[in-house]
A = this chain, B = another copy of it.
Amino acid sequence: MSTSPEGSTADRIAASAAHSGGVANSSSDDVAEAVRACARRAKEAAVQLATLTRRQKDAALHAIADALVAQTERIVAANAADVSRAERSGATAAYLDRLRLDANRVAAIAADVRKVAALPDPVGEIVRGGVLANGLELRQVRVPLGVVGIIYEGRPNVTVDAASLCVKSGNAVLLRGSSSAEASNAALVEVLRDAVAASGLPADAVQLVPGAGHDAAKHLMRARGLVDVLIPRGGAGLIRSVVEESTVPVIETGVGNCHVYVDADADLDQALAILLNAKTSRPSVCNAAETLLVHAAVAETFLPRALAALRDAGVTVHGDARVAAFDPTVVPATEEDWDREYLSLDIAAAVVDSLDDAIAHIRRHGTGHSEAIVTRSQTAARRFAAEVDAAAVLINASTRFVDGGEFGFGAEIGISTQKLHARGPMALPELTSTKWIVVGDGHVR
C-alpha cells in the first residue's frame, strides 16, 4: 500500500505498525526509530504535496469520500471491535456513543470530506504584495506548513477530519489517536492511504504513528526538524503534557473555562436565553459556558429566574454566598470551582459589583477561549471587548458560536487558545505558513 521504496528495518517496522496500529512488544528505542522513520516519510511526502494543484487535491478528497462509503462494512466491523473492548472495560454510555461508527456516521464523515473539497485552496493565496520603490516585486503567499502531527483522544471521525484538512492544505499528517479507537483508526487510515495513493498522491501523506502508549506520542513531540507543528486535541491533561514535553512547536487547543457575564444593563430575556444555550445545548464541548457572573444591580431580578431555569434544565449551580442566598439548592462554590472546566451540567456562579470586577475575575480564571457579555450598554460592550483577553469575545451572543463551522470556515481542526500563529477556531488558512517571493531584474542593494 505504501508508495515508498523498501527502506531500512526501522522503516519496515514503522510501515507495518502504521498498518496494524501498534508495535506491542518493541522497546522504546525501536519505537523512537519507528516514529522518526514515519516522520521522515511524511517529510518526503510533504515535498510532493506542497506543489499539487487544487484539482489534484480535490480529486484525492473525493476519492477518500468514495472509498469511505464503499468500505463502510469493513470500517464498521473494525469499530465494533473497539466498541466491544470499551464496553468490557466499563466505558460510559456517552463515551461509547462518541466512539461508535455506523453506516450513517461513516456517510456523514464522507460528506464532510466533500465539504472540505469544496472549500477554496489556501495554498498560493497572496496575503500581501506590491512593488517597492526600486521596482522589486514582493508577494507573501500561503504555503503548507509541511508535516502536521495530531495527538487526539476518542472520536475516530477526527482521523478523517484531520487528514482531509491536511490533504487540502498540502500538508502531510501524522496521526496519533487514542488506543481505545485503535482498530477503527487503523481501518480508516488504510482506506485513506489507498484512496490517496490511487489518486496519484503519496500514500505517506496520511500515516498513523506507530507504537503503543504514551511512548510513541513522546517521540513524536521530540521529532523537531521533521515535524513542523503538533496539535493536541483532547482533555486538559493531554494538552498540558504535549505543551510541556514537546520540542516541536505546539498549537495549544481547547480548554475552555468560558464565562457569561450579565451586565447591569443587560436585556434579561436575552441573558437568560444566552446562558441556557451556552450551558446546556452541548455541555461536553469546550465552547460551553462554565461560569456565570451577574452584576449586583440585576442579581435580584435575574438570579431567581436564572437559577430556576438552570434547575429545570438539570444544571447544578456552584454559587458564591450571594448567589446561594437566592436558592437553597445552590451548592457552595469552592475556590477550585472558578477554575473548573466541568464539561457537564454544572456551572459556577458569582455576583460581581462592577464591570471591572467581572473583567478581573475573567482575567484571573479564564482560559483565553470564549467570553460573553450580555449588555445594552455600548460602553460596557466596548470595554469588555477591549479588555478581556481571549480568543473570542461575544457581545449578546452565546459562547457556543465560537466554532469553525459557525464562523463559516467549513471545517475546524481545533480551537487555539494560544496567541502565536492562530487564535480561535482553526481551519485551512491556519494550517499554512507563508513565503516571500521577491522578483527583480538584476537588483542589488
Interface residues of A (CB under 8 A from B): 47, 50-51, 132-133, 136, 138, 140, 143, 145-146, 224, 228-229, 243-244, 247, 249, 251, 267, 269-270, 273-274, 276-278, 281, 363, 381, 385-387, 389-398, 400-402, 406-408, 418-421, 423-424, 433-445
Contacts and interface: CB of A to CB of B under 8 A. Distances in A.
Contact of A445 (B251, B400, B438): B400
Contacts of A439: 381, 394-397
A420 B393 contact: no
Contacts of A390: 435
A331 B51 CA distance: 37
Contacts of A406: 132, 445
Given A132-B408, A249-B249, A423 B435 contact: yes
B402 A436 contact: yes
A398 B444 contact: yes
A281 to B, nearest CB: 6
A228 B417 CA distance: 12
Nearest to A440: B397
A68 B135 CA distance: 36
A51 B387 contact: yes
B273 A444 contact: yes
Given A132-B407, A389-B50, A444-B274, A229 B420 contact: yes
B442 A396 contact: yes
Copy number in the complex reads 2
Contact of A391 (B138, B387, B436, B443): B436
A397 B443 CA distance: 5
Contacts of A418: 249
Contact of A394 (B274, B391, B438): B438
A445 B281 contact: yes
A438 B267 CA distance: 17
Q: Which 5 A-B pairs have the closest CB atoms?
A: A397-B440, A270-B442, A277-B444, A419-B433, A392-B436
Given A418-B249, A420-B249, A400 B444 contact: yes
A83 B88 CA distance: 74
Contact of A247 (B47, B143, B244): B244
Given A228-B419, A402-B438, A438-B402, A445 B277 contact: yes
B136 A401 contact: yes
Contacts of A47: 363, 387, 389
B274 A442 contact: yes
Given A50-B386, A391-B436, A396-B443, 19 more contacts: A50-B387, A138-B408, A269-B442, A274-B442, A274-B443, A274-B444, A277-B444, A278-B444, A281-B444, A392-B435, A394-B440, A396-B441, A397-B439, A397-B444, A398-B445, A401-B438, A402-B436, A423-B433, A424-B436
A269 B444 CA distance: 12
A389 B251 CA distance: 21
Contact of A440 (B136, B269, B395, B421): B395
Contacts of A251: 420
A272 to B, nearest CB: 10
A392 B436 CA distance: 4
A86 to B, nearest CB: 30
Nearest to A441: B396
B442 A395 contact: no
Nearest to A433: B419
Given A391-B436, A437-B393, A420 B421 contact: yes
A389 B225 CA distance: 13
Nearest to A398: B444
8 contacts: A249-B418, A274-B442, A390-B435, A395-B439, A396-B439, A400-B445, A401-B445, A424-B434
Contacts of A145: 419-420
A165 to B, nearest CB: 17
Given A47-B363, A420-B229, A443 B398 contact: yes
A169 B304 CA distance: 45
A442 B397 CA distance: 5
A445 B276 CA distance: 10
Contacts of A419: 145-146, 228-229, 433
Nearest to A270: B442
